[in-house]
Structure 1
Amino acid sequence: MKGNKIKAFKCLVLGLAMFLLGIGANFTAKADSSLQAVKEKGVLTVATSPDYPPFEFQVNKNSHSEDVGMDIEIAKQMAKDMGVKLKLKNMDFSSLLVAVETGKADMAIGGINPTPEREQNATFSKIYYSGGQSFLVKKADADKFKNQASLSGQKVGTQTGSMQSQLAQKNLTNSKLTTMDKTPDLILALKTNKLSAVGVEKPVAEAYVKNDSELKMINSDYKIDKKDVGAAIAFKKGNDSLAGAANQTIDKIHKQDKIPGYIEKAGKYLKVNTANTSMLHYWKFFFNGLKATLLISVLAVIGGIILGIILALMKISKFKILSWPAISYVEVVRGTPMMVQVLLIYFGLGVLINIPALLAGIIAVTLNSAAYVCEIIRGGINSVEKGQGEATRSLGLSQVDSFRYVILPQAFKNIWPALGNEFISVIKESSIVSIIGVTDLVYELNVVRADTYRGVAPIVVVMVIYFLLTFLLTRGLNYLEGKMKHD
């Protein structure tokens, strides 16, 4: 009897051990399925920010843009080694790690440094490039700023979230540090005397110096280990098999010494861009941005009006089950920045549904506009005398017909100027969608600035386009307002 119990106990322990091993194997399989998932899709989706030559930027080929640069060549080689196609997703540098974390991309590449803080939320490949650190200064200040020590007490700029920003905080303790999202913005600030120097990687500094005679490069003199500091590729936390495949490609690239060739190829593309830096040469970029801006604005205005009317009717309803959700929605939307809303729609909902960047931008701008349109329409409805409603009921009209034929037409006539201002605001505020890679006017503006090394001219062009859009819309709205008054 005792022996049977011992056997039963042994069987139980053995079964439990096998069960736990099975769970462990299952977790391991899940953890290592990232590479297999990419191969099954047949596509390697890579997030990048193409405004950082020579790492990644866009070349103007026959008025068509194409992502090029050292990082793009590395991504192409990885896709080739995995036997899949390469798909690039362009967005702001600050959104790259979020893209892999939320599954919007399989990997992110863009001169990303694998800091201990980032490694807590992402898996990184080996360092694939470490080109050294430099500062860009104005050529006129070259005698004044010769090294890191001479920047003490000066204003120094770096890109937000970059390795250069962390190095500056650690080494330039006596300098006044500032960060910006875009390297072209930093260069413009430098050239307009807002900054004394800009910290960038050496290849980036060399590219700017070659293409901008007003700039000069100086060494950073940072004491860093090239083995520990450099650019790596980011993956979703736990995607070890995909990172392992990337490491194999990186080892292959280093063994065959392909990096110098990639940089040389990027330099040739830069010469193509800077051969003709006139804004007319880049008209297709601005035209494509204009189309995206108009599409987002028109759809957001239409959707905002429809949803705004529904919210307004819910808000003035006597039933709390209808009014409270509308009140809460309006307060939340008006109390948070649109940029946060855009990121939430694209990345937050993206965890559940893979929403394309353009669609996410349209949804976010529509939902934002609806909250303001709701308040405008509610104010218009309240501005109509109560006697109007009483008169319609005495004529036997239902409440729905009363609103449709009497109240809302008068309300729209009263709120038309305010509604017109909201339309204009939508056109201008829709530019925020560029942070998730929607190729609107502002996105194309940054691309042209990075490609041509011209800081002001693209801004002027986009400003003129926005002005013409809002000017023509204002004239049209004023014409319709006059017709309403005449009627």
Structure 2
Amino acid sequence: MQMQKVKKWWWQLFVTMSVILVAGLGMGQVAHADTSLQKIKDKGVLTVATAPDYPPFESQVNKNGVSTDVGIDIDISKQIAKDLGVKLVIKNMDFDSILVAVQTGKVDMAIGCINPTDERKQSVDFSNVYYHGGQSFLVTKSNAKKYQSASDLEGQKIGAQTGTLQYSLAQQQMMGSKVVGMGKTPDLIFALKTNKIAAVGLEEPVAKAYAQNDHDLAVVKANYKTAEGESGPAIAFAKGNPELVAAVNKSLDKIAKHHWVNGYLKSAGKYMQENTVDTSMLRYWHYFYNGFLNTTLIAFVSVFLGIILGVILALMKMSKFKILSWPAISYIEIVRGTPMMVQVLLVYFGLGAVINIPALTAGIIAVSLNSGAYVAEIIRGGINSLDKGQTEAAKSLGLNHKDTMRFVILPQAFKNIWPALGNEFISVIKESSIVSIIGVGDLIYELNIVRADTYRGIAPIVVVMVIYFLMTFILTRGLNYLEGKMNHD
């Protein structure tokens, strides 16, 4: 009998995962056909994905408290949009997500110093290479004499942004060296300055930009051997859009003919110098304020929706009808057994391929769905903790099952589980920071922007840490006060 239950559970899990996989693949197929030159012109909008933490190619400048995307890639995108006769819309997200955004139809193209490697060409199409700058290493000034060439770095720890050409080249050509991958360039720079790694592999203009704005850093030539076509960045598109690629290449040829990239580089350098004139955290208070508002919004809405979903799932799971209990059990187990990052990406790029939803909305949906699974188990535990005599007493008073749950069981269960719900609320505040990977401007996202703009590794982290602490501390005290009132009543 027990073996049959186990088989049923695994069959149920297999069916649920199969449905999710087929749905995801189906959504991906739909997305591939969504991007074309004519559709862009019909919309009147060119949507571009980028990761604004890689100056001078893309970064943000603080203009009176308003974040503005600037850099070589941004200027190139503006020229392409102008040539197409459409409006430019930029979507900021993590570098690891921008190619996925192209593949799933969230954007029309991705630009972010993306090198057209053979592996990437299997998933997306590329434009012509628009800049030939070469590869370099950043080292600390104190080690500049020790590491004067790439050969001196062999056997040392080399840092590179995950998913980049620099990461692959270091693995393939820096024999005996350990490659340390991180998602953000500011994190790599901080690791370098704290002697966690010996060097950071970067595009030459990026390395020079950091060295010019941080006198503790120096540039060393990488001298990598690169395949033809991999020696510089290109623009990525979804597969099967030759007309769009041709139109963009036409704009890139115009840019190259007039040597505009050099002008773009000077313009980006000017913005970088403006950012480093005043790197005090007070100058960036508006960034942290916006991050606080978005983090608070996500937490409050997600917990509210999570409680509603949790009640439904808990009642379904406790139902005697398998048609209700099995889906609830499957949902709870799958959500609790997978990382929230995966869930956020699935909602934004998967569901978003069918319904074009903003990043903030996708983030709230993903966090709500995740919270609902945990809240369901909390509520179920609260219901099971009540004495069965409560249900029997309600029946003796003539209450039906629905009224018993509404007026007797759930009010008492919520009183018992209040501390656990409070802990879930606090957890959501902290764990919702994962939505920054799809470009939601929460505290972590704004933290990375400030670090990239100011070249300061520690100060922005401390500010965000204090904000998170104050949020959770005040919330904890408020929840404790309400719990005391409830117990007193």
- Normalised-by-shorter TM-score class: over 0.9
Partner of 2:371: 369
* Cα RMSD, aligned residues only: 1.3
- The superposition leaves residues 162-212 of structure 1 with CA deviations (integer Å, 9 ceiling, x where unpaired) of 111111112102101111110001001111111111000111111111111
Alignment deviations for residues 30-86 of structure 1 (CA, whole Å, 9 cap, x no partner): 989811111111000000000000000000000100000000000000000001010
Partner of 1:339: 341
> Which residue is 2:331 aligned to?
329
1:227 offset after TM fit, Å? Answer: 5.0
Equivalent AA in structure 1 for residue 460 of structure 2: P
Task: Report how far residue 224 of structure 1 moved.
Answer: 3.4
State the partner residue of 1:72: 74
- In 2, Cα distance between equivalents of 1:304 and 1:54: 41
Report the CA distance between 1:142 and its aligned residue. 1.2
Counterpart residue type for residue 111 of structure 2: I
Please point out which of 283, 296, 315 is paired with 2:285.
283
Match of 2:416 among 410, 414, 417: 414
> Which 10-residue stretch deviates more, 434-443 or 137-146?
137-146
Residue pair 2:186, 2:457 contacting (<8 A) in 1 also: yes
SS at match of 1:217: strand
Does the 8 Å contact 2:133/2:205 carry over to 1? Answer: yes
**Which whole-Å CA distance do the structure 2 matches of 1:338 and 1:130 have between them?**
38
- Deviation, structure 1 residue 408: 1.1
Alignment partner of 1:172 out of 152, 171, 174: 174
CA contact (8 A) 1:113 1:231 kept: yes
Amino acid at match of 1:343: L
Flag the structure with larger Rg. Answer: 1
- SS in structure 2 opposite 1:206? helix
Partner residue of 2:204?
202
CA distance in structure 2 between the partners assigned to 1:80 and 1:232 by the alignment: 19
Partner residue in 2 for 1:102: 104
**What secondary structure sits across from 2:179 in the alignment?**
strand
What is the correspondence of 1:100-249 to structure 2 with a 5 Å cutoff?
Answer: 100-224=102-226, 228-249=230-251
1:446 aligns with 2:472: no
Is residue 62 of structure 2 the alignment partner of residue 48 of structure 1?
A: no
Q: For residues 347-399 of structure 1, give each alpha carbon's deviation from its aligned partner in whole angstroms, at most 9, with x where no partner exists.
A: 01122111111110000000000000000000000000000110111111121
Q: Matched residues in 1 for 2:35 and 2:170: separation?
A: 39
Amino acid in the other structure paired with 1:78: I
Quick one: which amino acid aligns to residue 275 of structure 2? N
Q: State the one-letter code of the partner of 1:329.
A: Y
Match of 2:459 among 441, 457, 460: 457
What are structure 1's unaligned runs of at least 5 residues?
Answer: 1-29
In the other structure, the counterpart of 1:467 is 469
Q: 1:461/1:92 Cα in 2 relative to 1: closer, same or farther (>3 Å)? A: same
TM-score (norm 1): 0.92
Question: Does residue 330 of structure 2 align to residue 352 of structure 1?
Answer: no
Counterpart amino acid of residue 205 in structure 1: A
Secondary structure class of the residue paired with 1:177: strand
Paired with 1:477 and 1:86, the residues of 2 have a C-alpha distance of 45
Contact 1:314 1:323 in 2 (8 A): yes
Matches within 5 A, 1:399-438: 399-438=401-440
Please list every run of 5 or more consecutive structure 2 residues that lacks an aligned counterpart in the other structure: 1-31
Q: Give the secondary-structure state (helix, strand or coil) at the position aligned to 1:47.
A: strand
Task: Tell me by how many angstroms 1:429 deviates.
Answer: 0.6
- After TM superposition, the score normalised by the length of structure 2 is 0.92
After superposition, the Cα gap between the structure-2 partners of 1:31 and 1:347, relative to the gap in structure 1 and judged at 3 Å, is closer
Going from structure 1 to structure 2, the CA distance change for 1:379 and 1:33 (only over 3 Å counts) comes to closer
CA change 1:410–1:150 in 2 (3 A) is: same
Question: 2 CA distance for matches of 1:378 and 1:154?
Answer: 53
Aligned partner of 1:269 in structure 2 is 271
Task: Tell me how far apart the structure 1 counterparts of residues 366 and 353 of structure 2 sit (CA, whole Å).
Answer: 16
Q: Distance in 1 between matches of 2:356 and 2:379?
A: 33
Q: Percent identity?
A: 68
Q: How many residues align?
A: 458
Partner of 2:392 in structure 1?
Answer: 390
One-letter identity of the residue aligned with 2:477: R
For 1:366 and 1:130, locate their aligned partners in 2 and report how far apart those are by CA, in whole Å.
45
